Amino acid sequence: MRKSVIPCFVFLCVFVVNCVPCIKEIPELHAMMSKEFPGSKLLFIDPVEDDSKREIAEFAKKLKIPEAFFYRDSFGSVSKKFFKGQFAFPTIVGVSKKRLIFRHSGIDEDIKEDIREKLMDES
């Protein structure tokens, strides 16, 4: 009997603590991923040197998302690898099998549907 393998996706979302769209969209993304893709990894990355760990912790608390989902990329190493060129906040990427599946700036219903479709194609 063969077990079906559920793919694990990795979602990275770049944000900054003073970003108004991030305050609205990060909880939406977290809720969608937690409900629809619970086995996947989700990480919110702050690449801004001026944003302190304390500010990020307060941001997480304000959004009612566990602080463990947030990462301060103080050296910019993650941001440089996945977010080359210009990008808006928040920018979301999905990765599977070491391959970029999607990249979006912001999140709305059309983007959520695109993410679902691309993840289903990967399953």
* Domain coordinates in residue numbering, the chain: 17-122
Give the predicted TM-score (pTM) of the model.
0.84
Domain 17-122: top CATH class: alpha beta
How many Å apart are CA 98 and CA 9, to the nearest integer?
A: 10
- Running DSSP on this structure, what letter comes out for residue 106? S
pLDDT digit string, tens, across residues 9-53: 889 998 999 999 999 999 999 999 999 888 889 999 998 888 999
pLDDT digit string, tens, across residues 63-114: 999 999 999 987 777 777 666 666 678 989 898 888 889 999 989 999 999 9
Report the SS3 class of residue 1: coil
Sign of CA dihedral 22, 24, 28, 34: positive
Query: Which residues neighbour 113 within 8 Å (Cβ) at sequence distance 6 or greater?
Result: none
